[in-house]
Amino acid sequence: MTAAKLLEEAAKAQARARKLAPDARLVRVAANLDDPRSHWIFVFRSDKQKKLLTVWQKRIGVERLEKGASETLWSTRLAKLDGLEGAYKRLKAEKHWFVPVRVEIVPRWKGDPDFLFIDARGRVARVAGPSPVGVPQPPPPEKEKAPDPPKD
């Protein structure tokens, strides 16, 4: 899934969460990898109502919020992700033996979010969000040439 599609799904989930809590902010995104029918799960936090809202495709779960601060998963940083496929390739390059059954996208205080891959035994492998190398960058804009002076 690309970052653009993930942002689109997050915006839909946020609209649904904000019907219950107007101050809901995204704190985590997850998906189960072992089920081919799985969809993204979005977790929002409402500090005013002291609730944790979990938005699935067809329902919303509401839990009491535990004390403690939680980082926000900003959409601008979420847009910088290079997609689940790229993170999975980097995971396999580092730990070829690791077989994840769940992935979570979690924010960092300073920097882009990370992918947390979790296997069936509960072991966690953290993969940095944007790919440090290999991310295509747009070419720098070319400067226009000054017109040649007239020839006399």
Q: Average pLDDT, stretch 39-56?
A: 92
Burial class of 88 by CB neighbour count within 10 A (0 to 12, 13 to 18, 19+): middle
Structure confidence at residue 1 as a pLDDT band (50, 70, 90): low
Residue 135 is predicted with a pLDDT of 47
Average pLDDT, the chain: 84
CA angle 108, 114, 120 (to 5 degrees): 125
CB 108 within 8 A of CB 71: yes
Given a cut of 90, whether residue 43 has pLDDT beyond it is yes
Q: Which amino acid does the sequence have at 129?
A: G
- Cβ-proximal residues to 16 (8 Å cutoff; 6+ apart), any chain: 55, 60
Mean pLDDT of 33-48: 89
**pTM flag (> 0.95):** no
Mean pLDDT of 2-16: 87
What pLDDT score does 4 carry? 81
Confidence of residue 73 (pLDDT cuts 50, 70, 90): confident
